[in-house]
Amino acid sequence: MFELAKSHGVKTFFNPAPGDPNMDKSILPLTDIICTNESEAECITGIKQNNLDDARRAAAQMITMGPKYAIVTLGAQGCVLASQGREVEHIPAREVTAVDTTGAGDCFCGSFIYFLINAKCSVRDAMEKAANIAALSVQRKGTQASFWTRKEIGETYPELLK
């Protein structure tokens, strides 16, 4: 699938959930953007994830495997972004009281893609907005039930949709 996408100039996004240390890494050179959580980053790179610096190192290592951008989500700590030829950047999370973190990664990925494609944001700006949307989702119980609607976001945090 990724080979076909690349042959037609389509950008690719890969979220290797759940993490598998035996994952076939041949997909990585075909990936424009890889988005992992800490355990998935550890499975891909072998770098134990204990702190922000470990996430930075894992993101930087994933870039050497082929993707143009590597994102590692860090829950309450936000996320990091690595890209070719640039320093790894940390994007902090919005401070909230978490009720249920189930689905926050899916919320991040979906929001990120939305902002990248529909809002035509840069990768960094899409990440910042997605991190904020995911932070909103952890304030409610459930998975899909915790996802804020576009209307709710627009009424409460209109700056996130600009």
Domain ranges of the chain: 1-92, 94-162
- Is the domain 1-92 a CATH 3.40.50.11900 member? no
The predicted model gives 132-151 an average pLDDT of: 81
Encode 90-132 in three state secondary structure.
EECCCCCCCCCCCCHHHHHHHHHHHHHHCCCCCHHHHHHHHHH
Q: Which helix (H) or strand (E) holds 151?
A: helix 150-156
How far does the chain reach from its first CA to its final CA, in angstroms? 33
The predicted model gives 86-114 an average pLDDT of: 91
Confidence at residue 131, expressed as pLDDT on a 0 to 100 scale: 94
Sign of CA dihedral 143, 145, 148, 150: positive
The predicted model gives 114-126 an average pLDDT of: 92
The predicted model gives 50-62 an average pLDDT of: 97
The predicted model gives 129-143 an average pLDDT of: 86
Residues paired with 37 in a beta bridge: 73
Q: pTM for this structure? A: 0.89
- Which is more confidently placed, 45 or 146? 45
Give yes or no: 106 in active site. Answer: yes
One of 20, 54, 100, 106 is an active-site residue; which one? Answer: 106
